[in-house]
């Protein structure tokens, strides 16, 4: 049956220039390259200096618009997943729309779902497109996590990085089958009973400060493998496709052992699993659009490929998206 699909017609990413290596970190806290590499798979991460989340977002969005062959005035909606907005309010999306000169009057808002922020943002944008409320959407995942990292805490400071990724979605008529291009299925979840397993310790209504990342690493790790696998399985089943039909698994880039665990659980061959955590670290809501854009830009992910995206983060929140590029 004919239906509206949200097709990814543009992709972009941006990483701030400063690179922080494991050796650099070993001079700041009691750690070393061997521990970080074997426990997390991370080698380097990028750190924003003098650039805000909106600045990174604008750079990633400019690239996405260029790849789409569109102007910012063609955009009907801007939605950003982030936990590190420039101000408590307004949204970073509103700021981006002003900085880029978007059409006046278009809806702009942020989605607060931590590392699942981009998956949530993409789902909301997809739903608005399928309802016919907007035709063309700019969806961003962007973070300057370096602002909420305690640089004296070796348990967390080695894990995170800054960056941004963006996609342009456009409404396209589909046949309602899994052969359509565009987003084929989405599924979001949360479990608030795990609120204290991973959080940033500040807040407007509590400390009146931004705070620092606090994490029960083992708890998050255990949960992440199951949640990312569950969300991936759900969207594949919903669209009536099997693991064999899928070209790429793109899980949230937090830790190579989590990524490998999900690949293994789903029965996905290693060479079909996208890994960028080694050179980005965990960039929270930016991790998926960064990895997607990088893989599309390099030609790894091609037109027509079927990609399973899965995300998991604080809340806990998690979710899956099945998309044919
Ligand atoms: O985006 C979603 C959010 N985050 C995640 O998905 C992260 C999920 N969790 C993880 O990735 C892992 O749990 C970590 C990488 C954070 C930790 O790995 P682990 O294998 O669970 O290590 P651990 O917490 O069991 O720590 C083992 C040891 C401890 O020492 P003791 O108590 O055994 O003597 C830590 O103190 O490693 C120590 N340690 C470190 N040593 C060197 C912790 N951090 C470091 C460090 N360098 N940076």
DSSP string across 132-156? TS-SEEEEEEEEEGGGG--TT-HHH
pLDDT, residue 69, reads 98
Mean of the pLDDT values across residues 114-138? 98
pLDDT, residue 256, reads 98
Closest residue by CA, ligand 1 atom 38: 155
Closest residue by CA, ligand 1 atom 39: 155
**What's the CA-to-centroid distance between 125 and ligand 1, angstroms?**
35
Query: What's the pTM?
Result: 0.98
| CB 224, CB 194: distance < 8 Å | no
Mean of the pLDDT values across residues 185-196? 98
Distance CA 310, CA 170 (A): 21
Closest residue by CA, ligand 1 atom 10: 217
Ligand 1 pocket, 218 CB below 6 A? yes
The pLDDT-based confidence of 99 (bands split at 50, 70, 90) is very high
**What's the CA-to-centroid distance between 217 and ligand 1, angstroms?**
6
Which residues fall within 8 angstroms of residue 254, CB to CB, at 6 or more apart?
Answer: 115, 159, 224, 277, 282, 287, 312
pLDDT, residue 262, reads 98
pLDDT, residue 192, reads 98
Q: Is 227 exposed, middle or buried (0-12, 13-18, 19+ CB in 10 A)?
A: buried
pLDDT, residue 235, reads 98
Nearest to 280 by CA among 38, 41, 23, 93: 41
Distance CA 48, CA 222 (A): 30
pLDDT, residue 190, reads 98
Could you count the other beta carbons within 10 Å of the beta carbon of residue 318? Answer: 28
36: three-class secondary structure by DSSP: helix
Q: At what angle do helices 217-239 and 256-266 cross, to 10 degrees?
A: 40
Q: What are phi and psi of 210, to 5 degrees?
A: -75, -35
Q: Domain coordinates of the chain in residue numbers?
A: 3-174, 182-324
Provide the CATH number for the domain formed by 182-324 in this structure. 3.40.47.10
Ligand 1 pocket, 116 CB below 6 A? no
Distance CA 119, CA 99 (A): 24
The residues facing 282 across adjacent strands are: 160
The pLDDT-based confidence of 137 (bands split at 50, 70, 90) is very high
Mean of the pLDDT values across residues 58-73? 98
Place of tokens 């700041």: 28
Average pLDDT for the chain: 98
Distance CA 309, CA 186 (A): 9
Q: Do domains 3-174 and 182-324 have the same CATH topology?
A: yes
Distance CA 266, CA 271 (A): 13
Ligand 1 pocket, 251 CB below 6 A? no
Q: Tell me: domain 3-174, CATH 3.40.47.10, correct?
A: yes
Q: Which two tokens stand for residue 244?
A: 């064999």
Mean of the pLDDT values across residues 8-27? 98
Which residues fall within 8 angstroms of residue 285, CB to CB, at 6 or more apart?
Answer: 80, 81, 82, 83, 113, 114, 115, 116, 117, 118, 121, 141, 142, 143, 313
**pLDDT over 70 percentage in the chain:** 100
Q: Which atom of ligand 1 is nearest to the CA of 114?
A: 1
Ligand 1 pocket, 154 CB below 6 A? yes
Mutate-to-test residue for ligand 1 from 31, 221, 317, highest number of ligand atoms within 8 A of CB: 221
Catalytic positions: 115, 252, 282
**For residue range 251-290, what is the model confidence (pLDDT) as tens digits?**
999 999 999 999 999 999 999 999 999 999 999 999 999 9
Q: Which two tokens stand for residue 272?
A: 């079909």
Closest residue by CA, ligand 1 atom 8: 221
109: phi > 0 → left, psi -120 to 50 → alpha, else beta; which? beta
Mean of the pLDDT values across residues 286-300? 98
Rg (CA), the chain: 18
Closest residue by CA, ligand 1 atom 48: 154
What are the start-end ranges of the E strands in the chain? 3-14, 18-21, 44-47, 77-81, 108-111, 136-144, 162-174, 182-190, 198-200, 213-215, 248-251, 306-313, 317-324
């Amino acid at each position: 049956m004919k239906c509206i699909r949200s097709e990814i017609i543009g992709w972009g990413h941006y990483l701030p220039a400063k690179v922080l290596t494991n050796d650099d970190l070993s001079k700041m806290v009691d750690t070393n390259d061997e521990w970080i590499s074997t426990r997390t798979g991370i080698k380097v991460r990028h750190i924003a200096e003098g650039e805000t989340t909106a600045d990174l977002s604008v750079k990633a969005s400019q690239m996405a618009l260029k790849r789409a062959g569109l102007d910012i005035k063609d955009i009907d909606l801007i939605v950003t997943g982030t936990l590190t907005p420039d101000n408590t309010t307004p949204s970073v999306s509103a700021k981006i729309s002003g900085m880029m000169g978007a059409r006046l009057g278009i809806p702009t808002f942020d989605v607060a779902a931590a590392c699942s922020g981009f998956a949530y943002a993409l789902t909301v944008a997809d739903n608005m497109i399928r309802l016919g409320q907007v035709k063309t959407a700019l969806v961003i995942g962007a973070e300057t996590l370096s602002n909420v990292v305690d640089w004296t805490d070796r348990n967390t400071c080695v894990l995170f990085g800054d960056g941004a990724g963006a996609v342009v979605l456009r409404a396209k008529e589909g046949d309602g089958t899994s052969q359509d291009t565009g987003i084929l299925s989405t599924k979001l979840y949360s479990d608030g009973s795990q609120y204290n397993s991973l959080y940033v310790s500040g807040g407007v209504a509590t400390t009146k400060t931004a705070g620092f990342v606090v994490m029960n690493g083992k708890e998050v790790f255990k949960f992440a493998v199951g949640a990312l696998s569950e969300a991936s399985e759900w969207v594949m089943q919903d669209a009536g496709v099997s693991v064999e039909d899928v070209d790429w698994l793109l899980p949230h880039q937090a830790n190579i052992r989590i990524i490998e665990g999900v690949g293994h659980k789903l029965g996905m061959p290693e060479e079909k699993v996208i890994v960028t955590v080694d050179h980005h670290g965990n960039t929270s809501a930016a991790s998926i659009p960064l990895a997607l854009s990088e893989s599309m830009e390099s030609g790894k992910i091609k037109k027509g490929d079927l990609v399973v995206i899965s995300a998991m983060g604080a809340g806990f929140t998690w979710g899956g998206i099945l998309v044919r590029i």
